[in-house]
Amino acid sequence: MYELFIAPLTETYFQKALIGGSVVAIVAGVVGCLVVLRRMAFLGDALSHAMIAGVAGGYLVMKMLFGLEAHAPGMLLGSLIAAIATVALISFVARISRVKEDTAIGIMYTGIFALGVVAVSIFRHYIHIDLMHFIMGDILGVADSDLWVSVFVAAFVLTILILFFRHFQIATFDPIMAASIGLPVLFIDYVLTTCVSLVVVSAVSMVGVILVVGLLITPAATAYLLSDRLDRMMWLSALFGLTSVVGGLYLCVWLDSAGGGAIMLFCTLQFLVVLGVAPKYGLLARWRRMRNLIPQQQIEDILTTILRYGKTTPVQDISRYVEHHKGLRKALQQMVQDGLLTESAGGFWLTEAGEKEARKVLKAHRLWEAYLETIGTPREKLHPTAHQLEHISDGTTVDYLDEKLGNPHIDPHGKTIP
């Protein structure tokens, strides 16, 4: 036990990874909620890829102008500029040409990523950037400077999001309303994009270009399945980000695997579990809802059976005429609850509402029979076909038949049409 859980905590590299990872994951989770709700997920991906050009550019400029080697703030600023330039280019291309936004994103981020890769390889003797490190991230070798960067970024972004929570909420939910009360919607969008860029930039050194988008959206999507309020979704998302980092880091130590990969794997598994068991939006809940749903057809069959029987009907007689025997008891209970039936010692009888409903279905049935006869349906098929068709319920079908047949009073079997 000690070996498994406590021993890693005593290692400095693990502590740093834990702190840095948690800080990044929490802020990514919170801002990720807005990214998910605005359907900007692909943008997170684009920003992270564009970064490499910015990092290379920042490195080069600082080295050439000031002779500084691997100047962290310079590279950070470079990444930010690259990220914002990418966003600007994407919206420019999408607006002025017939190319749609998703394609524009794809073009621009691969293009700028490629520019970065080429720049890094051309100047490989001059600037020292490990491409592999950049792409895969290295959370176990996180540097103190990275740690500081992520702490400042997190503090800044969280402050903005908390202070202007309502502004982000309304600009995301209903931008027209937001603009109509005088909020600078476009400016809010830019602020959000800048926040996302900052978070992406600070997260790339830990989990790498490819996985950073996962850290941004997976915890948020997980929280989305569990909450019906934005503030709660943000809290939960931050929590899921945190648990992903903690769980992922232990996974990585135990399995001796890549850090970023383990974190995202844990994060994804977490999502899948929640997707399964979430109380309202989960698959299990959905399946149970479907199972508990009593088919309308069964309800209507029960109603007409009792109406035809003409008096309090024992369960055995109902089950003889109703097609689906499965769940008949449950359906009857539900119908009593819904005020369609009353239960007594002798069986079930219709309430006023139930009788009205039953007459409606019976009318539909007999009208369908009359109609089917006029179009030449064989007599033995009249009843079964009408029995299927009587359940069509859009309100106008029955009226149409009634009108078309000239309001008949007798069906082909000589029974009165109610």
Which residues contact another protein (rule: CB under 8 A)?
Answer: 37, 163-164, 166-167, 169-170, 172-174, 176-177, 179-182, 224, 227-230, 232-233
Report CA-CA distances (Å) from 351 to 7, 94, 298, 302, 303: 70, 62, 17, 13, 10
- In a 13 Å sphere around the CA of 62, the CA atoms on its Cβ side amount to 18
Shortest distance, position 160 Cβ to another protein, whole Å: 11
The minimum distance between CB 37 and another protein, in angstroms, equals: 6
Q: How far is the CB of 402 from another protein (least distance, A)?
A: 19
Torsion (CA) 342, 348, 349, 351 in degrees, nearest 10 = 30
Nearer to another protein, 174 or 338 (CB): 174
Residue closer to another protein, measured from CB, 177 or 272: 177
390 contacts: CB under 8 Å, gap ≥ 6: 300, 361, 364, 365, 368
Helix (H) or strand (E) holding 357: helix 352-374
Which token pair is 272?
């899948």
User: Quick one: 166 or 413, whose CB is closer to another protein?
Assistant: 166
Nearest distance in Å: CB 33, another protein: 8
Q: Closer to another protein by CB, 224 or 266: give it.
A: 224
CB of 152 to another protein, least distance (A): 22
Say which DSSP state 349 is in.
Answer: E
**38 or 63: CB nearest another protein:** 38
What residues contact 295, with CB distance under 8 A and at least 6 apart?
324
Give 173 or 254: the residue with its C-beta nearer to another protein: 173
98-103: Cβ within 8 A, 24+ apart: 102/42
- 115 or 170: whose CB is closer to another protein? 170
Q: Which residues pair with 350 in a beta bridge?
A: 341
Distance in Å, CB of 36 to another protein, minimum: 10
Residues listed for the chain? 418
Among 365, 362, 339, 366, which residue's Cα sits nearest to residue 352?
339
Work out how close the CB of 238 gets to another protein at its nearest, in angstroms, rounded to a whole number. 15
